[in-house]
Structures are given as C-alpha cells and as structure tokens.
Amino acid sequence: MAVAVLVGACTSPNPAAPSPEPPAAPTSELETFARGAVEAGAPAVVIHVRNGGREEAKASGARDLDSREPARPADRLWISGAGAPMVAVSVLKLVEKGAIRLDDPVSDHLPDFGAIFPGWQRTTIRELLGSRSGLPDYIPRLLGTRTVEELQTSVLTFEERLRIAAGTPASPGPLSEAAWSATDWEVLAWMLERIHGRTLADVLGADVFEPAGMGNTLVAVPGPPPEPMLHGYVLAGGNRIDFTRTDIVAGSGDAGIISTVADLNAFFAALPAGRLVSMEAWKSMVEGNPCVLGGLQQTEGICPGQRHVFVYGGGGAYNVQSISSLDGQQQVSVGMALPPAELDVSTVPPLVARMEEAARSTAASMCAPARPADP
C-alpha cells in the first residue's frame, strides 16, 4: 500500500506514449446473475462497477412489488454489516486525535459497558474493531423474541441491544480468531456518541459521508426510510410483508445504515486516497497486527500479485457485497433485495453465494495485465 512517486531530474527526448485508458467497467456477468436472481424471486438487484475513471451502473427488477416501478442503480438499500467499516473510520479518527487508544479498555470511555458485561471489563477497543471480543451477538436472540411487526416498529437504544446480548451465555474474550458479533459495533457506536456528545448520524456524517462524497448514505431513524428505496420483503405465516421499514435497527452501529452501491464504492475509493483517515490507519484496517480492523476481509485470490478488500452486509431482506482493490481503482459493489422468506440468520440464501461468485469474477476481469519481465 505504499505509494511511490519518481521525479526525474531531466526529461527524455522521446517521451513515452500515454498509458491507454482502462477498458470500460465490465458488468455482463453481474447482469446475467441479476436477471437470474429476479427470475428466482429476488425483487431487485443493483450494480455499480468502476475501473479507473470508467463506471457502469445497472439495475434489474422492481423497486417495489406493488407498483412494479423499475429499480434504478441509485436506489438505496439497507447495507447491514457493510456499514461497520464506516463506524471503524470514526473510531480510528479519535485514535489519530489522541482522544482514545486502541488498547484502552472500552469501559474507560463507556462505563455502562462494564456494568452490563462485568466479565468483559478489560475488553479493548482493538478487540472490538477486530471482532475478537467474544461478545455474544444480540441479533439471533432479538429475532427470536420479536414478531415481524415488532421488528418493524419497535425502537431500541444501544443499552437495550447490549442487555439483549448479555442474556446469551458466553465466556469473555479475547478470542484467538475473529468471530463476527453485531454487539461489537453497538458498543463502538455508543462509545462514539458518548465521546462526541452527538448522535451516530451526526458523527458519521461529518467523519465519513461528507468527506467521501456519499450523498445518498444515512443512519436510519425510526419511520419509513426515505425514497427511493429498494423494498425488501419477508414471509410471516406464509404472508409476504414489506420489510423496508425496520425501526428495530434504526440508529444501530451494525445494521442501521442505508446506502447505495455507488456510495459503497465511493467509501472504498476515499479510504486509500487518504480522505478519511491517514494511510497508517488505513493500513491498520487491512494489515493490522494481530488482527485487521473494521470488519474487512482481505483476499489475494482475485488478481495475481494484487490484494483486494471484501465487505459483506447481510440480514433481513437484503444482501450487499463490495470488493475493492487496495488502491481503490477497481471496484465492484452489488446489492440485492432477497427473495421473500422467513427471517432466519442461521442460513445463507443460495443466491448470496452466486452473487459473490459473480462479483469476484467481475473484479478478476479488471486485473491489470502482467508486465513483461525486464530484458
């Protein structure tokens, strides 16, 4: 991730030809996936692909199943856990300012946490950012104790989410390997609000959405989300229910963010460009020792000799996936309103795996050609 700039002391009498413009961002494989997903019952799929300065945006299906109005690429959708890196950016900005340290116990800055989880008093901010805390995930217990209608219209505080998690027996961490827990991000978001004295929406707006140019991204508040939205649906007792309004996660640090696929790409382009955090902080997100920070997965299996970051957001009626080269020049983001089904976080719909395959293949199609060896 180091950026090298070579400034010559003199100019060549035969300047090299300008680098060719990268090929248009490819979307054909994702479009094929999207058509198949809609045929299989997904209300809509939205796609945004960027290769250097060239972009393609596509949409398939309907914005909502009642009006059958066509989906548009700029339609918003819930991005669930894919918003975690945005919360991480705000935390890392506090680290850069010296307001907190990664190895501080979170209880030093959020005493309420220690009162709810007394066995986790020494849990550090680094462990939360790296998904090593061992905190039980509050989402499964929440879904098991609320009806669909309650999930749509009930509102929870951060404290209430943590107390739900505390009702699940678990041994205090830290863990030796990362294990995703939505509770980690509720703790961090609550800490951000406490330190800043402002809402999470205000904090992320100033730290992330505005500097990254994410004009269609917001932290949800209770009530119907702002249109245009891709409407998501679930089944309850065999009946299809519009699940676009989900007040239970409004304001959540894990699942409370609404965005677009283009804004996801804007976020992952702004990070390596240094517009959100320092290069050192960005490096800690993808090469952190002993663990990466911010909910990102790193993969080396897309382009030879190159690395990419992958972020996944799933749950409820939606799934989003975003892949970006470490320099932010090749990007693939795709979002789907899932086929209506009973709420179940224990299984992954088959279409999600196929969407990932199409996204990875699209990213691989933009790999830079190998340079010939020097003579």
Domain boundaries in the chain?
Answer: 28-364
- Is the pLDDT confidence value at 26 over 70? yes
Cβ count within 10 A of residue 118: 11
CATH class entry, domain 28-364:
alpha beta
Looking at mean pLDDT, say which of 23-27, 53-57, 99-103 comes out highest: 99-103
pLDDT-based confidence at 13, cuts 50/70/90? very low
**DSSP line for 38-50:** HHTT-SEEEEEEE
* DSSP label at residue 22: P
Say what the pLDDT of residue 320 is: 97
Say what the pLDDT of residue 22 is: 56
- Is the pLDDT confidence value at 250 over 50? yes
E-strand stretches of 167-282? 218-219, 233-236, 239-242, 257-259
Say what the pLDDT of residue 23 is: 58
From 209-213, 215-219, 347-351, the region with the lowest mean pLDDT: 347-351
Give the contacts of 316 (CB within 8 A, at least 6 positions apart): 78, 80, 232, 234, 243, 246, 255, 343
Output the furthest CA–CA distance in the chain (Å, rounded). Answer: 76
How large a percentage of the chain has pLDDT more than 90? Answer: 80
- Per the CB < 8 A criterion, the answer to whether 46 and 264 are in contact is no
Mean pLDDT of 315-335: 94
- Is the pLDDT confidence value at 4 over 60? no
Retrieve residue 223's tokens. Answer: 């009530």
Say what the pLDDT of residue 300 is: 75
- Per the CB < 8 A criterion, the answer to whether 247 and 155 are in contact is yes
Residue environment code for 338-371, b if the CB has 16+ CB neighbours within 10 A, otherwise e: bbbeebeeeeebebbeebbebbbebbbbbeeeee
Give residue-wise pLDDT tens across range 126-184. Answer: 999 999 999 999 999 999 899 999 999 999 999 999 999 999 999 999 999 999 999 99
Give residue-wise pLDDT tens across range 255-281. Answer: 999 999 999 999 999 999 999 999 999
Say what the pLDDT of residue 8 is: 25
pLDDT-based confidence at 235, cuts 50/70/90? very high
Say what the pLDDT of residue 313 is: 93
Give residue-wise pLDDT tens across range 87-119. Answer: 999 999 999 999 999 999 999 999 999 999 999
Mean pLDDT of 307-333: 93
Retrieve residue 41's tokens. Answer: 């019952």
- Is the pLDDT confidence value at 14 over 80? no
Cα–Cα distance measured from residue 361 to residue 351, given in angstroms and rounded to the nearest whole number: 15
From 7-16, 55-64, 234-243, 322-331, the region with the lowest mean pLDDT: 7-16
E-strand stretches of the chain? 44-51, 54-61, 77-78, 218-219, 233-236, 239-242, 257-259, 297-299, 308-315, 318-325, 330-337
- Per the CB < 8 A criterion, the answer to whether 138 and 165 are in contact is yes
Say what the pLDDT of residue 7 is: 25
Dihedral of the alpha carbons of 74, 139, 212, 102, in degrees to the nearest 10? -170
From 17-31, 315-329, 348-362, the region with the lowest mean pLDDT: 17-31
Say what the pLDDT of residue 1 is: 27
- Is the pLDDT confidence value at 17 over 50? no
Average pLDDT, rounded, for the chain = 90
pTM beyond 0.85, yes or no = yes
How large a percentage of the chain has pLDDT more than 70? Answer: 91
> How many residues in the chain?
375
- Is the pLDDT confidence value at 65 over 60? yes
